[in-house]
Structure 1
Amino acid sequence: MAEYIALIHKDADSDFGVSFPDFPGCVTAGATLDEARAMATEALALHIEGMVADGEAIPEPSSLTAVMAERENRDAVALLVPGPAKAVKAVRVNITLPEDTLKAIDTFAESQGLTRSGMILVATKRMMEAA
């Protein structure tokens, strides 16, 4: 798959924020630059997986020239993030969770720029890698 431009933003009192001009709504953050870069790769993969599951077309990558021509992007640092090697078909599953846990998952996922499914996927992958 293609590489997409991610923009890293940093305010003095915040983490490193990451956004993707080609994927509005696909955002993430990290406390360190390395964490932000790692989270960018995960966020992009999850976002693309969601688009595929929803039957949406995956856009072609924009050029660096076009992205940086936008005034709001000029204070950001651009980096290339590879898209997933292949689009994997998402499969719907049904799970049962306590309501308060589900609300906590949704709140935390939103704060991380993820969907509920995306957060469960990231957490599960991390647990499996750590085992």
Structure 2
Amino acid sequence: MRYPILIEEGSEDTAFGIVVPDLPGCFSAGDTLDEAMESAKEAVAAWVDCALDNGTAIPAPSKLEDVRRLPGYEGWSVGVVELDPALFDDTIERVNITLPKRVLRRLDDLAKARRQSRGAFIADLTLHL
């Protein structure tokens, strides 16, 4: 999936700026265009991850023609940032991990205290770090 981005040209004194109009509040910057593009990929991935965690719908990408006509961005270049489809994959997968018994016992005690299964507890820990 590709999202259109707007790129503000940088200079020796200012960074390149990138805005992702379809994802409210999603933006990045970098001293070079390459750095700004890499930061944009990270910002989009973080935005999508947060939206999925919060149950927020992910907007469909706009057409490039529509983004070119957005007010307030005259003179900005238009590009795209490509998303890894794995970002959207919430398929449950069975995993096998090896832990010392004392760690597993502690993990199970913590999960039980929260009235969660072991898997749900581990998922919550990961999502709320």
TM-score (norm 1): 0.63
* Pair 1:53–1:75, CA change in 2 (3 A): same
Is the Cα–Cα contact under 8 Å of residues 10 and 31 in structure 2 kept in the other structure? no
Aligned to 1:54: 54
Q: Quick one: distance in 2 between partners of 1:58 and 1:44? A: 11
Distance 1:74 1:27 in 2: 17
Deviations 1:37-90 (A, max 9, x none): 11111111111111011101111100111111122122211111112322155x
Instruction: Indicate the SS of the match to 2:72.
Output: helix
Amino acid at match of 2:16: F
2:3 maps to which residue? 4
Amino acid at match of 1:70: L
Partner of 2:125: 93
2:17 matched residue in structure 1? 17
Aligned residues: 93
Query: Which fold has the larger relative contact order, with Cα–Cα distance below 8 Å and residues 6 or more apart in sequence?
Result: 1
Larger Rg: 2
Aligned to 2:32: 32
TM-score, normalising length: structure 2: 0.64
In structure 1, what is the Cα distance between the partners aligned to 2:74 and 2:85? 29
1:99-127 deviation digits (Å, cap 9, x = unpaired): xxxxxxxxxxxxxxxxxx6xxxxxxxxxx
Please tell me whether residue 43 in structure 1 is matched to residue 75 in structure 2. Answer: no
Letter in 2 for 1:84: D
Deviation at 1:26, TM superposition (A): 0.5
Q: Is the 8 A contact 1:8 1:16 kept in 2?
A: yes
Q: Which AA in structure 1 matches 2:4?
A: I
Question: Where in structure 2 are there 5+ consecutive unaligned residues?
Answer: 91-122
Gaps of 5+ in 1: 95-116, 118-131
SS at match of 1:38: helix
